Amino acid sequence: MKFSEIIGQEEVKQRLLHTITDNRISHAQLFYGKEGTGSLPLALAYAQYIFCTQKTETDSCGICPSCIKMQKLVHPDLHLFFPVTTTEKIKTKPVSSFFIAEWRKSFLKNPYLSLAQWLENLGSENKQGNISVEESAEMIKALNLKPYEAEYRILVIWMAERMNIAAANKLLKVLEEPPEKTVFLLVVEDYDKLLPTIVSRTQLVKITSLKEKEIAEKLKEEYQLNHETAMQVALMADGNYAEALTLIEKEEEISSQFNLFITWFRYAFARKIPEMIRWSESTAGLPRESMKNFLQYTTRMLRECIVIRYHINDLAKTEGETKESLSKLSKFVNEKNIIPLTTEINKAIADLERNANAKILLLDLSFKIAKLLKAN
Ligand SMILES: [Zn+2]
């Protein structure tokens, strides 16, 4: 993978390029970014750049023998580790090498692959993927090999926070006495779950969420979406390209989420109590994760109302009919109620995480919204 194939993240790319031109490649680096931000493709593009024999100042060449191997993820000095589970075929002690062919295929099809998608491809969607102590033994085996072709060998550990404690301790020992000419790239979404002693031995490469415009542009280019749909998807995906790809597979949901939001606020504004009750009952039937996503989406739509209300057009993310509907609603969303509205919705998200009764919670929230919309 070349840097140029990765969405946005220009600053991180520059920083990574500088580590090489300045000849200070740190032996252990922590690529930390939320799901769908591109931390894994960045780590692999970085590895490809290190291996490339004809690199330019800004990217790997994509055509030298090293690049060709990296683009198929078969470079002999690249060692990949990722969470796995037991499956129909592998009943005990699963390690990455058993599943490397499937993993390569999954990544090459979608470099923004999420852990959930990977486990689904593995046929293990209801299991937790783990990196076990047997896997650390595999890592140590890889370290006993001399680099075959390149100057360095590179170990990429995707979702390193999925290491169990025994595996993490083994890795820590290795990082304490790093072998020569070896680079560890740990890719994580949640580094609070890593041993602090591992974190302190790595150099942090922080990867931020993607901007809506960047996601929308990529969607337009790759999937020929029109601008309005692309922006809607990008807004719902909230900086997560993996999520955006999942969303475009179910196109009807894109408009349904907006409709769910706008009808809710219309009922609340008009204080149509029977409709509010019906809305809360049917929305409470959604899976909890979808409900949380929907509420987060609601807060983004309210922010958009403020942007439209005060004509801050540079920041406006919607267009067409969506923008028109929001523009009507924006007459009732202002600097006085935006903060209480957002606070109430965020409180509801936290309560949902604590397993509150969704029906009661949504109805209660609807009444609060009704009150706040009228308090102008
Ligand atoms: Zn090359």
Ligand 1 centroid vs 68 CA: distance in angstroms?
7
At 320 the pLDDT is 79
**Ligand 1 centroid vs 26 CA: distance in angstroms?**
21
Q: What is the DSSP letter of 147?
A: P
> 78 with 70: CB under 8 angstroms?
yes
Fold of 3-207: Rossmann fold (3.40.50)
Spacing, Cα 47 to ligand 1 middle (Å): 11
How far apart are the CA of 58 and the centre of ligand 1, in A?
12
CA–centroid distance, residue 222 to ligand 1 (Å):
25
CB 322 within 8 A of CB 232: yes
- Ligand 1 centroid–CA 54 distance in Å is 5
Q: Is 8 left (phi over 0), alpha (psi -120 to 50) or beta?
A: left
pLDDT at site 124? 82
371 Cβ contact list (under 8 Å, min separation 6): none
* pLDDT at 229 (0 to 100): 84
C-alpha 187 – ligand 1 centre gap (Å): 23
Q: How do the domains of the chain map onto residue ranges?
A: 3-207, 210-249, 250-374
289 Cα: distance to centroid of ligand 1 (angstroms): 42
In 3-state terms the chain splits into helix, strand, coil percentages (rounded to 5) of 60, 10, 35
Q: Which two tokens stand for residue 87?
A: 């499956």
CA of 55 to the centre of ligand 1 (A): 6
How far does residue 132's CA lie from ligand 1's centre (Å)? Answer: 33
**Ligand 1 center to 308 CA (angstroms):** 47
Residue 283 corresponds to which tokens in the numbers above?
């929305």
Query: 161 alpha carbon to ligand 1 midpoint, in Å?
Result: 31
Q: Is domain 250-374 in CATH 2.60.40, yes or no?
A: no
Dist. CA 184 → ligand 1 center (Å): 20
Tens place of pLDDT per residue across the chain (376 aa): 999 999 999 999 999 999 998 888 999 999 999 999 999 999 999 999 999 999 999 999 999 999 999 999 999 999 999 999 998 888 899 999 999 999 999 999 999 999 999 999 998 877 889 999 999 999 999 998 888 888 899 999 999 999 999 999 999 999 999 888 999 999 999 989 999 999 999 999 999 999 999 999 999 998 888 888 888 889 888 899 999 998 887 766 777 888 899 999 999 999 999 999 999 999 998 888 888 889 999 999 999 999 998 888 777 777 778 888 899 999 999 989 999 999 999 999 999 988 889 999 999 999 999 999 987 5
Contact 205, 228 (CB under 8 A): no
- Per the DSSP assignment, residues forming a β-bridge with 239 are none
**C-alpha span between 227 and 204 (Å, rounded):** 35
Distance (Å) from CA 64 to ligand 1 centroid: 4
Q: Which residues pair with 183 in a beta bridge?
A: 154
For 200-282, strand residue ranges (E) read: 203-207
pLDDT, residue 197, reads 94
**Burial category of 249 from C-beta neighbours within 10 Å (exposed 0-12, middle 13-18, buried 19 and up):** exposed
154 phi, psi to nearest 5 deg: -125, 130
Residue 18's SS3 state is helix
What's the confidence (pLDDT) of residue 260?
A: 92
CA–centroid distance, residue 149 to ligand 1 (Å): 13
Tokens of residue 145, six digits:
């090999």
**pLDDT value, residue 251:** 66
**How close is the Cα of 151 to the center of ligand 1, in Å?**
14
Six-digit token string for 178: 């790093």
Whether the CB-CB separation of 145 and 182 falls below 8 Å is answered with no
Burial of residue 36 (CB within 10 Å: 0-12, 13-18, 19+) is: buried
Strand order in the sheet with 182-188: 78-81, 153-158, 182-188, 28-33, 203-207
Looking at this protein, which amino acid is placed at residue 283? Answer: T
Ligand 1 centroid, distance to 48 Cα (angstroms):
7
Question: Residue 131 carries which DSSP code?
Answer: B
Q: What is the pLDDT of residue 252?
A: 66
**The two structure tokens encoding residue 345:** 């919705």
In the reported structure, the alpha carbon of residue 63 is separated from the centroid of ligand 1 by a whole-number distance in angstroms of: 5
Q: How far is the CA of 17 from the centre of ligand 1 (A)?
A: 14
Please give the distance, rounded to the nearest whole angstrom, from the Cα atom of residue 131 to the centre of ligand 1.
31
Rounded CA-CA distance 38/50 in Å is: 18
Cβ 219 vs Cβ 225: under 8 Å: yes
pTM: 0.77
What's the confidence (pLDDT) of residue 22? 87
Distance 23 CA to ligand 1 centre (A): 18
Tokens of 264: 């809710």
CB atoms within 10 A of CB 310: 12
